[in-house]
Amino acid sequence: MNSFFYLTFLVSLFYSGSALALSCSDIVTDDYRLRDATYICNDTLVVPEGVTLQSRSSEPDRRGQIVAGVSFPSNSPLILLQRDSSLKNVIVNGAFRPRILVQVRPDTKNSMVINRDGFENDVYGMQITNNLIINAYNGSRNYPLPQMNGDQRIDLAGIYIKAAGSRGLVKRINIANNVIKNIGFKSSGSNQGKAHPSEWPARAHAIWMRGVLEVHIRGNTLSHTLGGGVNFGGCRDVVVEENIIRHTGLARLYDVNADYVSDGITAYKNRSSIYGWIYSYRRPERFVIVGNEVTNSHNNGIHVSGNSLIIEDNIVRGQRYRGIYYGHWNEGGRITEDPMNNTSFKNNDSTQGFSSRSGYTAPFFVRRPPSGARRLSISNNHVID
């Protein structure tokens, strides 16, 4: 047995208990239907248009597993989904090597506009369901630092979805019943945490979206991220419901003044000029955050801004600062109920015992956007110390 196959054999035993170790090319041979085996990938696995990457067995303990190999390039996503492709019932294990585990993005080779409602490079119709997505890069010494971007931070994500501006939209995405864990942070075993934290600041979220339309995020369990749980900006028509989100913002364990977006659920700049092109797209400006349980956020529990927001029936506990924070840090003063603009705050309750830091003791804190809030409902939420 040569050294490569011996190594993959050992890796498969370590990660899945299966003695069957295969290469990434075997996924194509298997028609993207994974056996009860470990597939070692040393480069990005591209899922072609219209293809579903899935396990043959529906049993959780017999799912196929895709693992980043020892030579996987840290700046590449482990899995790249193309138009109308899906990822179902698969274990995606970055082994703390790639900084992005699953990515959705348009093909930007051709920028010809078809019509007002879309571009020929649009990506749509993805289903990302029933997967275990774990272990993005955490700074281990035995793996090189990813290349820094312009502001000297490293971007990490379990699922990363970003449109390409006028070169392609991303729309109609369903993300449901996944477990996403350990994004920039190792939660168990030896060498826990963020390795060598002073060497690399990071923005690291379980689900990270920019410029995306018509997204449904439901029933996921997200935990142990340096940054946030669900983070979206420049988006329209987003529903985040019935998710369990725990232990976010862990970068603050290493730097209490870290300015990373580190809330359990973060949604602002959805009308900013950065993504102004998406605002003219003919879809409703609608954001629904309902029935989520957000626990142990090292910043705010839920932090959002914009119009047409519904925040209802959420349970938020153990946050460092505010349970629910409406508005952005540099926006105007507090707002009150305004029937003319359909803003309401009803039946919210909390137990006290928040951080004593000045200005951060209110469980619910609302700021007024420059143009005033419209179509805002915050009701039946429960914030617990």
What does pTM read for this prediction?
0.85
User: Tell me: the pLDDT tens digits for 173-182?
Assistant: 999 999 999 9
Q: Kindly report the CA angle at 277 between 276 and 282, in degrees rounded to 5?
A: 110
Confirm if 84 and 49 have CB atoms less than 8 A apart.
Answer: yes
* Distance (Å) of CA 134 to CA 15, 163, 222, 223, 329: 11, 24, 10, 10, 32
* Highest-confidence segment of 182-186, 217-221, 338-342, 367-371: 217-221
Average pLDDT over residues 144-150: 55
Mean pLDDT, the chain, whole residue set: 77
Q: What is the mean pLDDT of residues 350-362?
A: 41
More confident residue, 22 or 339: 22
More confident residue, 113 or 186: 186
Strands of the sheet containing 33-34, edge to edge, are: 33-34, 52-55, 86-88, 123-129, 170-176, 212-218, 236-241, 287-290, 309-312, 376-379, 343-346
Sheet harboring 265-267: ordered strands across? 45-47, 79-81, 100-104, 154-162, 202-210, 230-233, 265-267, 302-304, 324-326, 364-366
Answer with the residue of higher pLDDT: 56 or 276. 56
Residue 309 has pLDDT above 60, yes or no: yes
Which tokens is 225 given? 């991220």
Beta strand pairing call for 113-115 and 118-119: antiparallel
Quote the pLDDT of residue 368: 45
In angstroms, rounded to a whole number, what is the distance separating the alpha carbons of residues 366 and 346? Answer: 14
Q: How confident is the model at residue 47 (pLDDT cuts 50, 70, 90)?
A: very high
| Confidence band of 356 (pLDDT split at 50, 70, 90) | very low
pLDDT at 225: 94
In this prediction, residue 143 has a pLDDT band, given cuts at 50, 70 and 90, of: low
**What whole-number distance in Å separates Cα of residue 339 and Cα of residue 52?**
47
User: Rounded to an integer, what distance in angstroms lies between the CA atom of residue 287 and that of residue 158?
Assistant: 22
DSSP assignment of 298-322, as one string?
SS-SEEE-SSSEEEES-EEES-SS-
Pairing of strands 100-104, 52-55: unpaired
Predicted confidence (pLDDT) at residue 275 exceeds the cutoff of 70: no
pLDDT-derived band at 362, boundaries 50, 70, 90: low
Report the distance separating Cα 222 and Cα 264, nearest Å.
9
